[in-house]
Structure 1
Amino acid sequence: MATRANALRLVAVLMTCVLTASCSLFGSSPDGANADLERNLLRIGVAQVVDVAPLRIALTEKLFEKHGLQVNLVAQNNDSEAIKQLDTTLDITWASHVSFFREVTLGAQLQLQGEAYQAGPNSMALVTGPTSDYDDPGKRPTPSIAVNNQNDIGYLTTRAVLDTAAVEKGKIKFRDMPFGEMEKALQAGEVDAAFMIEPFITKAQRNIGAKILTDTARGPTLDFPMSGYASSKKFAETNPKTLKAFRDVLREAQQRAQANKLAVQDSLTSYADVDQSTAALVSVGTFPLSLNPIRLQRVADMMDTEDILSGRLDVQGLLPPGTTS
């Protein structure tokens, strides 16, 4: 039987545990569980697209704070430039998988940290002007198509979809321009169609009466993995616990976004330059909950087939150690 002295010593130890929050008997608090993060601040590059809505939801619902992280979302207009800012002004950036994989083949040392978005019906599409008679993908043998970048997802998926419509890939005339300038180009007849993603598709429909020529998430690009998040390998090697915390938050945020598409549409009004009525019409795809190498390999293999990559890229080598699905 414990003596009175022993009992008093036990009480003293327990009180110390409570006061210092260091006693494993009671478990650790959410903040304490992440006290050993290599760093608490993350600078993340984002664009004004539906894909990043879960990050906005995570900020609003303080999911990052619960994991001991402070996050600054930094607006970006160009995938390639955002990737080049890693390890300088950005720690993580959003971009299309096509952009990430192309930069890797050009020498960038990247590690994927999460999938952001997977295409759904009309979440990416070829769009025409309101008076255009271009009403069938195979109608024009040499169409002029606006894309945001000839090394990005628009170029890749447009070639694949028009190929199924018997349009020769070598005869497609691509023209680079920012998404925000495509409405004007369509109205002026400068291009036959423009590859757009949301919310730019819905904005063009409401602003100028644009029409969808074809969904570019069909046939070979059905449910196509569109975008994700990556850091440099250098940052990943020195901050594994911090990035694990980021991936945990991202997964929870993706779950919430997938379960509540209305919350996704509502969040657009805070960052994507759309009003409530426009946001309510935006088509929303899928928010993946994991890094799936088989799904992502599909993108790399199509890039190889379409000669955007010089050879086959093994996507598994870009995932964090131990990631299998």
Structure 2
Amino acid sequence: MATRAKALRLVAVLITCVLTASCSLFGSSSNTSTADIERNTLRIGVLPVVDVAPLRIALTDKLFEKAGLQVNLVTQPSESEAIKQLDTTLDITWATHVSLFRSVAEGTELQLQGEAYQAGPNSMALVTGATSDYDDPGKKPAPTIAVNSETDIGGLTTRAVLDTAAVEKQKIKFQSMPYGDMEAALKAGKVDAAFMIEPFITKAQRNIGARILTDTARGPTLDFPLSGYASSKKFAEQNPKTLKVFRDVLRQAQQRAQANKLAVQDSLTSYADVDQPTAALVSVGTFPLSLNPIRLQRVADMMDTEDVLSGRLDVQQLLPPGTTS
């Protein structure tokens, strides 16, 4: 009996040692990814567009929290204003690639931290009013088009698509206005068409009976890379480990969004001023899982061709060190 008791005590000690070591091991591994990051809080600039739905999903699913990051999404009035706020009130911002590349060309030192969104069918389009006779892209030789900015994605893709319809680019008359004002401009007949993205397209269709004149993700802009996330180069150099964690979580969030478009549509009701019936009709594009320099170079080269940039921009130079795809 004594021998058996001793054996049982020995087994108990061994089990305790194994469990203690295991706990120590697992505890150590769970903290490894976040223990040495430079900071645990990130302020990210966003606009109320489909592109940022994965960030909302990541917050709902506590993906950032599990990775040791507290993320605050800060709604911005415009992309240009958000880019200006980097290193002051923002650490990272969402913006279209066109806005980001134009800022770099103007002297802003940025580093790309992730791709956000890629165009799909009717995720961006030229939209007309319900009673408009503008029913073919080539029908008007000098159309007046509402865009969020003549030098942003709206102006760039509108020129490309209307050019294929034999409309001379120099004859297009652009009127710059926020997406939220385009619906009223169409209804009042102040513009012939408006370049819109989701969820503004679906909202205009439901609110005023707007019609899609042409999908602008076609021909030269098929599957066009629309937007991404960037930090200042200074912030990136000071916080490489933190941004690596951000990119890892973003990839997880993008995967979830890509696999569950219904979750994307549902998330819109929480931040994009749309009700559930409208959200259910929103066209959803693609959420890329990585920074792809070849894909992004396509945007920069089109900007060069359309004279939005004064010369060719090498996108590879804007990627984090070691990032090749």
> TM-score of the superposition, structure 1-length normalised?
0.93
Cα distance between partner residues in 1 of 2:87 and 2:16 = 47
Give per-residue Cα distances to partners, 1:253-272, cap 9 Å, x unaligned: 00000000000000000000
Contact 1:44 1:74 in 2 (8 A): yes
Instruction: Return the offset for 1:150.
Output: 1.3
Correspondence for 1:248: 248
Counterpart secondary structure, 1:59: helix
Give per-residue Cα distances to partners, 1:280-314, cap 9 Å, x unaligned: 00000000000000000000000000000000000
Counterpart secondary structure, 2:52: helix
Contact 1:46 1:52 in 2 (8 A): yes
Correspondence for 1:6: none
Cα distance between partner residues in 2 of 1:127 and 1:197 = 10
Gaps of 5+ in 2: 1-12
Correspondence for 2:308: 308
Instruction: Return the offset for 1:28.
Output: 2.7
Counterpart secondary structure, 1:28: helix
Amino acid at match of 1:56: R
Correspondence for 1:103: 103
Counterpart secondary structure, 2:28: coil
Correspondence for 1:213: 213
Contact 1:31 1:66 in 2 (8 A): no
Counterpart secondary structure, 2:298: helix
Cα distance between partner residues in 2 of 1:78 and 1:147 = 13
Contact 1:30 1:67 in 2 (8 A): no
Matched, 1:54 2:54: yes
Cα distance between partner residues in 2 of 1:253 and 1:84 = 26
Cα distance between partner residues in 1 of 2:122 and 2:26 = 50
Correspondence for 1:159: 159
Correspondence for 1:200: 200
Contact 1:39 1:242 in 2 (8 A): yes
- Within 5 A, what are the aligned runs for 1:279-298? 279-298=279-298
- Within 5 A, what are the aligned runs for 1:1-325? 23=24, 25-26=25-26, 28-325=28-325
Amino acid at match of 1:120: G
Cα distance between partner residues in 2 of 1:120 and 1:264 = 14
Give per-residue Cα distances to partners, 1:41-66, cap 9 Å, x unaligned: 00000010000000000000000011
Gaps of 5+ in 1: 1-8
Aligned alpha-carbon RMSD (Å): 1.9
Cα distance between partner residues in 2 of 1:285 and 1:140 = 29
Amino acid at match of 2:255: Q
Cα distance between partner residues in 2 of 1:62 and 1:287 = 19
Cα distance between partner residues in 1 of 2:30 and 2:158 = 46
Amino acid at match of 1:157: T
> TM-score of the superposition, structure 2-length normalised?
0.93
State the aligned residue count: 315
Contact 1:58 1:64 in 2 (8 A): yes
Cα distance between partner residues in 2 of 1:183 and 1:26 = 55
Cα distance between partner residues in 2 of 1:176 and 1:243 = 34
Give per-residue Cα distances to partners, 1:186-232, cap 9 Å, x unaligned: 01100000000000000000000000000000000000000000000
Counterpart secondary structure, 1:34: helix
Contact 1:304 1:311 in 2 (8 A): yes
Contact 1:96 1:227 in 2 (8 A): yes
Amino acid at match of 2:247: R
Cα distance between partner residues in 2 of 1:195 and 1:126 = 5
Correspondence for 2:6: none
Contact 1:128 1:186 in 2 (8 A): yes
Amino acid at match of 1:119: A
Counterpart secondary structure, 1:54: helix
Correspondence for 1:5: none
Contact 1:30 1:66 in 2 (8 A): no
Counterpart secondary structure, 1:186: helix
Counterpart secondary structure, 1:80: helix
Contact 1:111 1:236 in 2 (8 A): yes
